C-alpha cells in the first residue's frame, strides 16, 4: 500500500488522485503506526520548511518516516518533501531537516529578469537512467513552484538538473529514495508516468 504522509501541509488529495488515475491505491495518513506499516511512502509538501519540520515533530512522524527510509522501502519526496530530507534549510532562518541526505536548502539568488518563486513548466536533465524516469523522454517538462532548492554535498545523489538562473538539482535518488523538486501530480502525462513507475517499485 502506498501511504501519503499527512502533516497538514501539501495538496494531499491531488497526489492521491494522481496515483488513482494510474491504477494505484494510495491512502492519506497522519498516524505514526500506519506510516510505520506502509509498503511505500510518499512525503509531499507545500509551504515553509520551518513549519513543516515543526509539524512532523509535533505529530511524532519523524521517527516512523526515518525508519521507513532505513528499512529500504520505496520512498518518494515531492517538492518540500524533497527539501525536508536534507540536513539544513536557510529559509527564513536556519533549521535542521531530517538529515537523510547531506546538503542544504538555499534560496535562488536575485537576478535581473529572474522571477522568484520559480513557477511553471521547466525541463529536467537526467544525470543517468533511473527506473523512476522509465518511459519519460529526456528533457521532459515538469511543473515547478518553489523559491528554494536543494544543494547536495555529493553530486552522486543528483538524478536530474534543471536550469533557472543557475543549474540546480531538481531530482535526487539514492538506494530506495527518490525525490523531486517539481510536482508530478501537476505535471500531466509525464508526472503520471513518474508516479506509475514509483507505484511499480
Task: Please tell me the distance from the alpha carbon of residue 75 to that of residue 143, in angstroms, as a whole number.
Answer: 20
Let me know: does 125 contact 160? Beta carbons within 8 Å.
yes
Short-list 158, 197, 201, CA closest to 179: 158
Distance of CA 10 to the CA centre of its chain: 11
If one counts every other C-beta atom within 10 angstroms of the C-beta of residue 159, the result is 23
Task: Please tell me the distance from the alpha carbon of residue 11 to that of residue 154, in angstroms, as a whole number.
Answer: 30
Task: Provide the annotated active-site residues.
Answer: 79, 183, 185
Task: Please tell me the distance from the alpha carbon of residue 13 to that of residue 23, in angstroms, as a whole number.
Answer: 15
DSSP 3-state of 123 = strand
Q: Read out DSSP for 11-76?
A: -HHHHHHHHHHTT--EEEE--HHHHHT-SEEEE---S-HHHHHHHHHHTT-HHHHHHHHHHT--EE
Amino acid at each position: 500500500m502506498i501511504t501519503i504522509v499527512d502533516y497538514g501541509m501539501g495538496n494531499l488529495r491531488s497526489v492521491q488522485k494522481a496515483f488513482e488515475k494510474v491504477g494505484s491505491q494510495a491512502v492519506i495518513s497522519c498516524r505514526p503506526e500506519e506510516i510505520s506499516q506502509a509498503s511505500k511512502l510518499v512525503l509531499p509538501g507545500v509551504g515553509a520548511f520551518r513549519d513543516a519540520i515543526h509539524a512532523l515533530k509535533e505529530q511524532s512522524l519523524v521517527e516512523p518516516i526515518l525508519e521507513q527510509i532505513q528499512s529500504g522501502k520505496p520512498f518518494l519526496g515531492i517538492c518540500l518533501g524533497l527539501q525536508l530530507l536534507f540536513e539544513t534549510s536557510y529559509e527564513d532562518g536556519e533549521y535542521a531537516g531530517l538529515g537523510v541526505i547531506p546538503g542544504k536548502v538555499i534560496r535562488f539568488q536575485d537576478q535581473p529578469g529572474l522571477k522568484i518563486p520559480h513557477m511553471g513548466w521547466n525541463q529536467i536533465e537526467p544525470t543517468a537512467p533511473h527506473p523512476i524516469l522509465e518511459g519519460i523522454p529526456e528533457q521532459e517538462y515538469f511543473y515547478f513552484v518553489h523559491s528554494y532548492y536543494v544543494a547536495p554535498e555529493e553530486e552522486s545523489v543528483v538524478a536530474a538538473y534543471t536550469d533557472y538562473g543557475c543549474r540546480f538539482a531538481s531530482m535526487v535518488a539514492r538506494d530506495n529514495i527518490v525525490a523531486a523538486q517539481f510536482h508530478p501530480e501537476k505535471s500531466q502525462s509525464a508526472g503520471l508516468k513518474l508516479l506509475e513507475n514509483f507505484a511499480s517499485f
